[in-house]
């Protein structure tokens, strides 16, 4: 079938294209080749360029999106502004790309009587959870909010049970966890995901929101300062600089390899599905920032 991958020239997108090409699908990409992400390169890698149709443009432009969707039978919507810190001062930019982009996807399909799209997969994020799930000895699984700046200055880094104020420790966060994002990026992903589930059901197009954890792997940009801590640490280590670990270094993340993310995305794209769902995509392993720093220095 013909599959449109928005943001397909990016890190996850190019890995996905390489997985889909041998399966015989016709592939198209919609990407604006943002300099912050692509460093001025406005084309796909040489191994993909001859086989993939490219529409150079913005997902928040209705006419361009409609052109890219022509003939598509499935859509993987990866295009997004990323980076929690940047989202807090480039608010309009994040809102336009992340929320308006996915809204236009469903608006174009709602207006098009003859479209052939039968499946949509959208990249959501762990950022929708905020701190995520913790376990309290007295109250079981709880969902605390982030500590305040004043608390962190006092060295109080770990979230506390919102019911008793006691100590708690992080545990895997289920899909049923409440959404309480602590950044505007996380909020845009929450709105994006809820749009996907609402219109997927309303329009009768099975849609999947994949809540990616911290994705890493070959091809990840080392030039974009908002691609995450692995890129930051790698750049510092390459030039012999000290890796700075803040707080107590025990804050943890779930790091998931890009090919595992691609596996989940392809299955969501191709497996039979009647309803619209949201799913976590991670390794299930907890890694502290201190461990990441030590491993980076070893290599």
Catalytic residue annotation: 185
State the burial class of residue 269 (Cβ atoms within 10 Å of its Cβ: 0-12, 13-18, 19+).
buried
Residues in the chain: 299
C-alpha separations of 51 from 13, 24, 273, 292 in Å? 14, 11, 28, 37
Q: DSSP character for 137?
A: T
Question: Residue 212, SS3?
Answer: strand
Residue partners of 40: CB distance under 8 A and separation at least 6: none
Select from 286, 289, 250 the least CA-distant residue to 156: 250
State the burial class of residue 90 (Cβ atoms within 10 Å of its Cβ: 0-12, 13-18, 19+).
middle
Antiparallel, parallel or unpaired: β 207-212 and 277-281: parallel
Instruction: Please give the backbone phi and psi of residue 148, each rounded to the nearest 5 degrees, phi first.
Output: -75, 165
Select from 98, 138, 105, 133 the least CA-distant residue to 119: 105
Residue partners of 127: CB distance under 8 A and separation at least 6: 84, 181, 182, 183, 185, 186, 189
Vertex 96: Cα angle to 219 and 79 (nearest 5): 25
């Amino acid at each position: 079938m013909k599959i449109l991958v928005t943001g397909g020239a990016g890190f996850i997108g190019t890995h996905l294209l390489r997985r889909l090409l041998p399966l015989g699908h016709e592939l198209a990409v919609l990407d604006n080749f943002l300099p912050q992400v692509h460093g001025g390169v406005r084309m796909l890698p040489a191994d993909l360029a001859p086989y993939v149709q490219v529409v150079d443009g913005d997902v928040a432009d209705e006419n361009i999106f409609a052109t890219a969707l022509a003939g598509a039978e499935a859509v993987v919507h990866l295009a997004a502004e990323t980076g929690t810190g940047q989202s807090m001062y480039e608010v309009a930019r994040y809102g336009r790309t992340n929320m308006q982009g996915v809204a236009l996807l469903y608006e174009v399909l709602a207006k098009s009587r003859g479209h052939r799209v039968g499946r949509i997969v959208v990249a959501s994020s762990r950022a929708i959870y905020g701190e995520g799930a913790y376990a309290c000895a007295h109250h079981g699984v709880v969902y605390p909010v982030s500590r305040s700046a004043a608390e962190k200055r006092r060295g109080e880094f770990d979230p506390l049970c919102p019911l008793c104020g006691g100590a708690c420790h992080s545990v895997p966060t289920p899909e049923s966890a409440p959404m309480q994002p602590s950044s505007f990026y996380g909020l845009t992903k929450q709105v994006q995901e809820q749009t996907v589930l609402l219109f997927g059901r309303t329009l009768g197009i099975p849609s999947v929101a994949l809540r990616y954890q911290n994705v890493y792997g070959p091809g990840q940009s080392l030039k974009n300062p908002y691609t995450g801590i692995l890129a930051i640490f790698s750049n510092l280590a390459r030039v012999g600089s000290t890796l700075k670990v803040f707080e107590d270094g025990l804050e943890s993340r779930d790091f998931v390899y890009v090919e595992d993310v691609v596996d989940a995305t392809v299955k969501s794209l191709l497996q039979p599905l009647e309803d619209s769902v949201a799913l976590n995509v991670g390794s299930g392993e907890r890694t502290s920032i201190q461990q990441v720093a030590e491993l980076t220095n070893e290599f």
